[in-house]
Structure 1
Amino acid sequence: MQTNLADFMRNTPDGEEADAILRKCVHCGFCTATCPTYQLLGDELDGPRGRIYLIKQMVEGAPVTRSTQLHLDRCLTCRSCESTCPSGVQYGKLIEIGRKLTEEKVPRPFGQRLMRRMLASFVPNSTLFTPAMRLGQHFRPLLPKKLRDKVPQRQRQLEWPTATHPRKMLMLAGCVQPSMMPNVNIATARVLDALGVQTVIAPEAGCCGAIRLHLGYNDEALDDVRQNIDAWWPHVEQGAEAIVMNASGCGATVKEYAHLLRNDPAYAEKAKRIVELTRDISEILPDFEEALTPLTRRRAIHTVAYHPPCTLQHGQQIRGKVEHLLNALGIDVRLPADSHLCCGSAGTYSLTQPALSYALRNQKLEKLKAQEPQIIVSANVGCIAHLQSGTSTPVVHWVELVEHMLAS
């Protein structure tokens, strides 16, 4: 695709990146076949090829309209199109540039501005989010269904392991996971503890930056990124082996830190080192398969349906590892039809685009339940909460299942 950047984009980091990405696109349209919103809406502008064309127009100086903003808003940023694209178009990076431009050029209605500002200020702030979640869980039976769907039942917490080990790995606790699903972090620590690895959480680390980044608050998102690097750096210098991610949405974002801070001389090199150390728990545990297998027993769970989050299979390009490990532990893992498609959670998407989000959730649950599983497992807090709101079948993180299988 040939481009002719407008003056305001020429010789800028975003302009150069957009130009390089756009020139890779050959209009083949393979991406439309795996785009969830195109499948639902059938509108070319609600698929990757159409959105790429809209962004091309923007960077070439065409007027940016509310319609343009709407089509970009409807994108889940699931990046399924990246897995499909034969030309290697980095659509995820391109749409963030497009969204940044629309935020600058198209004023949003007051209601949207208020909602997005509240989400960006409230959700990543655990000081506010945690007590609100606790209150919501206490009064959950009395909440309206739409609000109740966003408040998972309170978990009975496992005990955090207390043993110390020479081998240490950092873990990002996250901003919402400790209050919504604390056992995901605890289960991760307990499994690593059984394998002789101590899990360390830097309390100063907070939100990975994804929520503010995808809502268009780029400067605030970069502040989140720098805060995490500062929190982790002393542990990195002390020899932490890895930075463990058990929320694939966070992992996909942290693995972009080097790109996000590429123009920051104070943090660029540190960000590269953070990316080198960052590994999803599904990348770590297979290395321990021989040690883990004799430590577990199947118990009563033998058949699960697995929903691989988009941020794992498309964002991080990690496929097959969860299934392989669970199979090695004696679990029958069943992938649903169209397992490459998004469940509709997508961070705050279920709040900003509820109709599309719930349509995708219902489609996903239908295909998951067709596998006749005892439980559904996934790898991201948002997907788990979103899916659980639509079914009575338990939905858990797969590492919780592994922890449950540890022989006591």
Structure 2
Amino acid sequence: MQTNFTADQLRDSATARSNEILRSCVHCGFCTATCPTYQVLGDELDSPRGRIYLIKDMLEQGRPADEKTVKHIDRCLSCLSCMTTCPSGVHYMHLVDHAREYIEATYKRPFSDRAIRWMLARVLPYPMRFRLALLGAKLVRPLAHVLPDARLRAMVALAPKTIPPVSRNDDAQVFPATAPRRMRVALMTGCAQRALNTDINDATIRLLRRLGCDVVVTKGQGCCGALTHHMGKTGESHRSAAANIRAWGAEIAGEGLDAIVINTSGCGTTVKDYGHMFREDALADQAAQISALALDVSQLLERLEMPDGAPKGLRVAYHAACSLQHGQKVKTAPKDLLKRAGFEVVEPADSHLCCGSAGTYNIMQPEISAQLKARKVQTLEAGKPDIIAAGNIGCMMQIGSGTGIPVVHTVELLDWAMGGPKPAALTS
């Protein structure tokens, strides 16, 4: 694609990076075939190619974002299926992230939009605030139908019926290996996951200890920054990310780390991009080191060569989270591990398509999200599974709200297969 940025514009590193990405696009349109929003809405401007044209025009002209551009960028899930499909290697993630930052800086949203986005940014990344919000949502649920905004109704509907107790395993500490030590790893405990499902981190710690890992929960770590990053709130997202970089950097400089393990794939995609996010910052070298050490839990378990298990007689439908299969290019590891543990694994049709969760998307775009959820649940249930497994808490909550089949994290099943407790979702 031909671009016409001025020399002054290209002195800005974000614009220079977007220029590189735009020039790599050859207009082929392959991305439209796998874009969930294009399939649902049928509008070229709701495809990656259409959004690329809108972003190019906005950035080249150097004009404030307009309502039309914002509408179509907001409808993007950032599922990154287009990056998997693209034969030219267009790095759409960095482009749309820049566009969102530009929109945040130049466009004044309606008051209701600003209020909801402010609330989400102040609540979701903070586990205790999130817990209080979930309690409030439970109280409001009987009256949800009278709420004036569909986004508020969606927010209430997504709140779980039960809120798990606070887990002390999320506090800063070291869990020593219970088998001969092979690695020393830091576990990212996350933010929303700590409020929604504490069993995931507990299962991860048990499993890694059995496989010879000292598991470190570092003091000072917190939200990865993804939630605010995808809202274009770069200052907030970078503050969260910088806290993690410093916390893990101190641990590396101390007793050292062999890996930073992440069991929420949406977080993993962001942490693996810290090197790019901080490329011009004083933390650049540390950020690059953190990104190089970051692994999805399934990647680490493959390296640890988890032993085979006896057949379980259970059929598991594996949902591939977009952030894992497209964002991190981790596609076979979770399925291979489940099979090795003794589960029968089935995949849904169109497994590359998003479930509609996408961070806060199911709140901000509830109608489109609901259509994507219905499609995903239908394809998962078609395999007649006993269990649905996924590697991302957002996907688990989204799919779980649309099916009666138990939805559990992949690591919970693997922990159970190796002698851990039966996942709570399978006992109720």
Q: TM-score range by the shorter chain?
A: over 0.9
> Secondary structure at the residue paired with 2:9?
coil
Question: How far apart in 2 are the matches of 1:40 and 1:150?
Answer: 25
> After superposition, what is the alpha-carbon deviation per residue over 1:15-42, rounded to whole angstroms, capped at 9, x for unaligned?
1101100000000000000000000000
Shift of 1:143: 6.9
From 144, 150, 160, give the equivalent of 1:151: 160
Alignment of 1:57-76 (within 5 A): 57-61=57-61, 63=63, 64-76=65-77
Counterpart for residue 85 of structure 1? 86
From 259, 276, 279, give the equivalent of 1:262: 279
Count of residues in Structure 1 that have an aligned counterpart in Structure 2: 402
Counterpart for residue 45 of structure 1? 45
Shift of 1:58: 1.1
- Is 1:187 aligned to 2:199, yes or no? no
Question: How far apart in 2 are the matches of 1:162 and 1:172?
Answer: 13
Alignment of 1:315-394 (within 5 A): 315-394=327-406
Does structure 2 retain, via aligned residues, the 8 Å contact 1:195–1:292? Answer: no
Does structure 2 retain, via aligned residues, the 8 Å contact 1:99–1:216? Answer: yes
The letter for the 2-side match of 1:31 is C
The letter for the 1-side match of 2:307 is L
Does structure 2 retain, via aligned residues, the 8 Å contact 1:152–1:180? Answer: no
Question: How far apart in 2 are the matches of 1:163 and 1:103?
Answer: 41
- Is 1:54 aligned to 2:71, yes or no? no
Shift of 1:336: 0.5
Tell me the TM-score normalised to structure 1 length.
Answer: 0.93
> After superposition, what is the alpha-carbon deviation per residue over 1:204-232, rounded to whole angstroms, capped at 9, x for unaligned?
11100000101111011101111011111
Counterpart for residue 11 of structure 1? 11
Question: How far apart in 1 are the matches of 2:184 and 2:136?
Answer: 35
Structure 1 stretches lacking a partner, 5+ long: none
Question: How far apart in 2 are the matches of 1:61 and 1:6?
Answer: 10
Structure 2 stretches lacking a partner, 5+ long: 145-152, 421-428
Shift of 1:159: 9.3
Shift of 1:178: 1.2
Does structure 1 retain, via aligned residues, the 8 Å contact 2:377–2:403? Answer: yes
The letter for the 2-side match of 1:85 is C
Counterpart for residue 148 of structure 2? none
Which deviates more, 63-72 or 346-355? 63-72
The letter for the 2-side match of 1:370 is A
> After superposition, what is the alpha-carbon deviation per residue over 1:158-195, rounded to whole angstroms, capped at 9, x for unaligned?
99699623432101100111120100001011111111
Shift of 1:153: 3.0
Alignment of 1:20-169 (within 5 A): 20-61=20-61, 63=63, 64-133=65-134, 136=137, 144=144, 146=154, 147-151=156-160, 153-155=162-164, 164-165=176-177, 166=181, 167-169=183-185
Which deviates more, 275-284 or 101-110? 101-110
Which deviates more, 125-134 or 276-285? 125-134
> After superposition, what is the alpha-carbon deviation per residue over 1:334-363, rounded to whole angstroms, capped at 9, x for unaligned?
110000000000000011100001110000
From 225, 228, 233, give the equivalent of 1:217: 233
Does structure 2 retain, via aligned residues, the 8 Å contact 1:34–1:84? Answer: yes
- Is 1:287 aligned to 2:303, yes or no? yes
Tell me the TM-score normalised to structure 2 length.
Answer: 0.89
Question: How far apart in 1 are the matches of 2:158 and 2:22?
Answer: 39
The letter for the 2-side match of 1:254 is V
Which deviates more, 82-91 or 143-152? 143-152
Between the aligned residues of both structures, percent identity stands at: 42
Question: How far apart in 2 are the matches of 1:135 and 1:298?
Answer: 43
Which deviates more, 221-230 or 190-199? 190-199
Which deviates more, 269-278 or 324-333? 324-333
Counterpart for residue 236 of structure 1? 252
